[in-house]
Amino acid sequence: AGLLKNLNLADIMTGLAASGKNAKDMGAYKFWQTQPVPRFGEEGGKVEEGPLKMQKVEDIDQEPQPLVAGFEWVTMDLADDEDMKEVYELLNGHYVEDDEAMFRFNYIPEVLRWAMMAPGWQRKYHIGVRASQSRKLVAFISAVPVNIRVRDRTFRSSEVNFLCVHKKLRGKRLAPVLIKEVTRISNLDGVWQGLYTAGIVLPRPVSTCRYYHRALNWTKLHACGFSPLPNGSKPEYQVRKYALPEATSTKGLREMQDKDVGAVVRLLTRYLARFDMAPQFTEEEARHWFLPKKDGRQVIWSYVVEDNGAVTDFFSFFCVESSIIKNNEVNDVLRVAYLFYYATEAGLSEPRDRAALKTRLNALVNDALVLAKKARLDVFNALSLMDNGLFLGQQKFGGGDGQLHYYLFNYRANHISGGVDAKNQL
* Site of interaction with ligand MYA (CB under 6 A): 10-11, 14, 29-32, 94-96, 158, 160-165, 170-176, 179, 182-183, 186-187, 191-194, 196, 198, 200, 202, 409-410
Least distance (Å) between residue 260 CB and ligand MYA: 32
Which one, of 108, 374, 113, lies nearest residue 248 by Cα? 374
Residue nearest to ligand MYA (CB): 194
Helices (H), 54-203: 81-94, 109-116, 174-188
Tell me the closest approach of the beta carbon of residue 22 to ligand MYA, in angstroms.
Answer: 8
Distance of closest approach, residue 186 Cβ to ligand MYA, in angstroms: 4
From 384, 387, 386, 385, select the one nearest 399 (Cα to Cα). 384
- Nearest to ligand MYA of 185, 346 (CB atom): 185
- Taking the C-alpha atoms of residue 126 and residue 291, their distance in angstroms, rounded to an integer, is 24
Nearest distance from C-beta of residue 196 to ligand MYA, angstroms: 4
- DSSP annotation of 39: P
Helices then strands, counting H and E runs in the chain, come out as 10, 14
Residue with Cβ nearer ligand MYA (162 or 226)? 162
Q: What is the spatial distance between Cα 227 and Cα 217, in angstroms, rounded to a whole number?
A: 10
Q: Contact at 8 Å (CB) between 295 and 168?
A: no
Comparison of 118 and 426: residue with beta carbon closer to ligand MYA? 118
Which of 200, 260, 268 has the alpha carbon at shortest distance from 5?
Answer: 268
Shortest Cβ 145–ligand MYA spacing (Å): 10
The CA distance from 411 to 397, in Å, is 33
Per-residue 3-state assignment (H helix, E strand, C coil) for 189-246: CCCCEEEEEECCCCCCCCEEEEEEEEECCHHHHHHCCCCCCCCCCCHHHHHHHCCCCC
CB of 403 to ligand MYA, least distance (A): 13
Give the residue among 418, 426, 425, 423 at the shortest CA–CA distance from 4. 418
Give min distance, CB of 318 to ligand MYA, in A: 17
**8 A C-beta contact, residue 386 and residue 361:** no
Q: For ligand MYA, which is the closer residue by CB, 111 or 377?
A: 111
CA distances from 368 to 232, 268, 312 (A): 30, 17, 16
| Closest CB to ligand MYA among residues 200, 356 | 200
Strand pairing class (207-215; 398-409)? antiparallel
Residue closer to ligand MYA, measured from CB, 116 or 191: 191
Residue 141 Cβ vs ligand MYA, minimum distance, rounded to whole Å: 7
Rank residues 163 and 215 by Cβ distance to ligand MYA and give the closer one.
Answer: 163
For the CB of residue 67, give the shortest distance to ligand MYA in the complex, in Å: 12
**Residue 90 or 264: which CB sits closer to ligand MYA?**
90
Cis (ω within 30 of 0) for the bond into 204?
yes
**20 vs 252 by CB, closer to ligand MYA:** 20
